[in-house]
Amino acid sequence: TLQKTVTSLAVDVEKADGVIAKQQQKHERDIEKRDDLIDKAREAKRRKQSEASVDSRKHSEEMKRTIEELKSYKLIAKEATINKEKAEKETEKMRKENDDIKEKWEALIASHRDELKQEKELTDKAKLEGKAALRAKEKEYSDVMEKNAEREKKRRDEVKRHAAEETAEASNKMATAREDS
C-alpha cells in the first residue's frame, strides 16, 4: 500500500512538473510575441515617419493606422502580461500542491517507519516471551522426568527388597525343612 501511495504521489508530482513547464513555455512564447509585436510597431512607426514627409495626408492616414496597430500591439502586450501573471499564479499553486504532496509522502513514510519499529519491538518481545515459555516448559519437563526417575528407582528398590525378602523367606523355609528332615 505504501508503494502504491508513493508511486501515485510521484506520478502527481511529475504531472505537476509537466504543467508548470508547459505554463512556463507558454509564458515565454507570449513574451516573445509581445517583443516581436513591439519591434514591428517600432519598425512600422519608423517606416511611416519616413514616408510621412512625402505626403502629409497619406502620412495622417498612415499615422492613424499606426496608432491602431500600436493599440492592437498594446492590447496583445497587455494580454501577454495577464497570461504571464496567470501562469505565475498557476505555477505557485502547483508548487504548493507539490509541497503538500511531498509533506504527506514524508509523513506517510515516517508513519510507516514507526509502524515497522513497533512491529519489530513486538516481535522481539514475543521472541523473548517465547524463549522464556520454552525454558519454563523445559524445566517443567525436566522436573517431571526427574520425579518419574525417582519413582522408578523406588519401585525397583521395592521390587528388589521384596524379592530379597521372598528369597530370604524361601531360604529360611529350606533351611528349616533340611533341619526337620
Q: Is 1 helix (H, G, I), strand (E, B) or coil?
A: coil
Q: What is the mean pLDDT of each run of 10 residues along the chain (181 residues)?
A: 73 79 86 88 81 65 83 85 90 91 92 94 94 95 95 94 92 86 70
How many helical (H) and strand (E) elements, i.e. helices and strands, does the chain have? 2, 0
User: What type of residue sits at position 147?
Assistant: K
Residue 141 CA to residue 163 CA, distance in Å, equals 32
Kindly list the distances between the CA atom of residue 36 and the CA atoms of 39, 51, 77, in Å, as whole numbers in the listed order. 5, 22, 10
Give the per-residue pLDDT at 69: 83
**Helix orientation angle between 2-52 and 56-180, rounded to the nearest 10 degrees:** 170
Give the per-residue pLDDT at 55: 62
Give the per-residue pLDDT at 57: 66
Give the per-residue pLDDT at 59: 64
Give the per-residue pLDDT at 180: 79
Q: What ranges make up the beta strands (E) of the chain?
A: none
Give the per-residue pLDDT at 18: 82
Give the per-residue pLDDT at 124: 94
Give the per-residue pLDDT at 15: 81
Global pTM value = 0.35
Q: Is the dihedral of CA 9, 12, 16, 18 positive or negative?
A: positive
Q: What is 142-155 written as a DSSP string?
A: HHHHHHHHHHHHHH
Name, in order, each residue with C-beta under 8 angstroms of 57's C-beta and a sequence gap of 6 or more: none
